[in-house]
């Protein structure tokens, strides 16, 4: 039951839901999430840590960059995320997507 509580607590924050919605588009570097959310790196790292602990996202390292993606290994997590994220209106993440697109155009991250 503690695992289930951890998952639902992770989903109870707006910024974490936005991170998950952004990752629904595909794998993103931590710097992309910082730019898209308009938050400072420690805040994003805090939310990432909670999402990882809940098993909602996984990461991989590439040089000095860390990339995050949705965890698709657990069917419960996949269906839960699909259900939760489809209920988010596109306007909720529109500004974040615009910031992400602008940052991607100016980014020189070699580990894409």
* Structural domain total, the chain: 1
Q: What is the CATH number of the domain that holds 60?
A: 1.10.10.10
Percent of the chain with pLDDT over 90: 52
Report helix, strand or coil for 95.
helix
* Tens of pLDDT, residues 27-78: 999 999 999 999 999 999 999 999 999 999 999 998 888 999 999 888 888 8
Residue 110 lies in a domain: no
Residue 60 lies in a domain: yes
Beta strand residue intervals within the chain, DSSP E: 28-29, 57-62, 65-70
Confidence of residue 111 (pLDDT cuts 50, 70, 90): low
Residue 112 lies in a domain: no
Q: What is the mean pLDDT of the chain?
A: 88
Residue 68 lies in a domain: yes
Residue 59 lies in a domain: yes
State the residue range of the domain holding 87: 2-105
Q: Return the closest-CA partner of residue 92 out of 21, 10, 8, 9.
A: 21
Residue 111 lies in a domain: no
- Tokens read off for 75: 């069917």
Q: What is the pTM of this model?
A: 0.87
**CB of 72 closer than 8 Å to CB of 78:** yes
């Amino acid at each position: 039951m503690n695992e289930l509580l951890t998952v639902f607590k992770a989903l109870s924050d707006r910024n974490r839901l936005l991170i998950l919605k952004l990752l629904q588009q595909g794998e993103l570097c931590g710097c992309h999430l910082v730019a898209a959310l308009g938050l400072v790196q420690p805040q994003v790292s805090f939310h990432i840590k909670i999402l990882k602990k809940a098993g909602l996202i996984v990461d991989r390292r590439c040089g000095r960059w860390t990339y995050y993606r949705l965890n698709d290994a657990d069917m419960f997590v996949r269906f839960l995320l699909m259900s939760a994220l489809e209920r988010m209106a596109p306007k909720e993440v529109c500004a974040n997507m615009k910031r992400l697109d602008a940052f991607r155009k100016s980014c020189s991250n070699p580990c894409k």
